[in-house]
Amino acid sequence: MTGFEQIIGINPWTALFTFCNMIITFLLLKKFLFKPVKKMIDQRQKEIDDLYADAENSKAKAQEIQAEYESRLDSARAERDELMADAVKRAQKREQEIIAQAKDQAASMMTRAEADIAQEKKKALNQVKNEISSISVSIAQEVVGREISAADHERLVTEFIGKLGETQ
C-alpha cells in the first residue's frame, strides 16, 4: 500500500481494467444470462401463441362442422317432410283409385246381375208360356175333345199370351 490517489484523477490503468471488466461482464452476462433467458421467454411465448392459435382453429373448425351438420339436418328434415307429403298424397290417390275401381266393379256386377235376372225372367216366362200353352192345349183337348189344328193352336196360344201380357 503506497498511499492514495487524488480524488479527481484519471488513471489509465484503472480505465483499462474497467474497460476489460465491462467487456467481460457484457460477454458473460450475454452468454449465460440474457440469451438463454430471452430464448426461454420467447419459446414460451411462441408455445402460448401456438396453443391459442390451435384453440382458435379448433373452435372455428368445430363451429364450421356444427353449422354443416345443422344445415344437413335441416335439409334431411325438409326431405323427410317432402317424402311424407308425397307418400300421403300417393296413398290418397291410390285410395281414391281403389274406391273408384270398386265402384266400377260393383256397378258392372249390378248391370250383369240385372241382365242375368232379366234373361232368367225371360227364360222363365218362355218356359211358363210353353208350359201354359201345352197345358192349355191339353186342357183344351180335354175340354174340346178334339185336336186343334196347329194353326188354331198357334193362334190360341198367341191370343192367350197376349191376354197374359195384358194382365201382367
Partner 1 sequence: MNGPKIYLQINGMNVITQTTVASFAVMILLCTAGYFLGRNLKKRPGRMQVITEKGVSMLYSLVEETMGRHNAYWTPYIGALFLSSLGGSLIGMTGIFRSTTSDISTTLTWALMTSFLVWGCTIKNSGLKTFLKGYINPMNIISDIAQPVSMGFRHFGNIMGGSVLTSLLYSALAAGSAAILGLIKTYGLLEIAAVALIGGGIVFLGFRRKKLWVKIAGGAVIALAAASALEFFGVFSSVPILQVGLPGVLSLYFDVFSGGVQALVFSLLTMVYVGMACPPPRDPKEH
Residues 148, 141 contacting (CB under 8 angstroms): yes
162 scored as a contact of partner 1 (CB under 8 A): no
26 scored as a contact of partner 1 (CB under 8 A): yes
Given candidates 35, 46, 80, 103, which one binds partner 1 under the rule CB under 8 A? 35
Residues 147, 141 contacting (CB under 8 angstroms): yes
CA distance 20 to 44: 35
11 scored as a contact of partner 1 (CB under 8 A): yes
Q: Which three cell numbers stand for residue 14?
A: 484503472
CA 80 to chain centre: 4
Stretch that binds partner 1, among 16-24, 63-71, 90-98, 154-162 (CB under 8 A): 16-24
- The residue count for binding partner 1 (CB under 8 A) is 38
What does the per-residue mask of binding to partner 1 show for 37-56, with x meaning CB under 8 A? xx-xx-xx--x---------
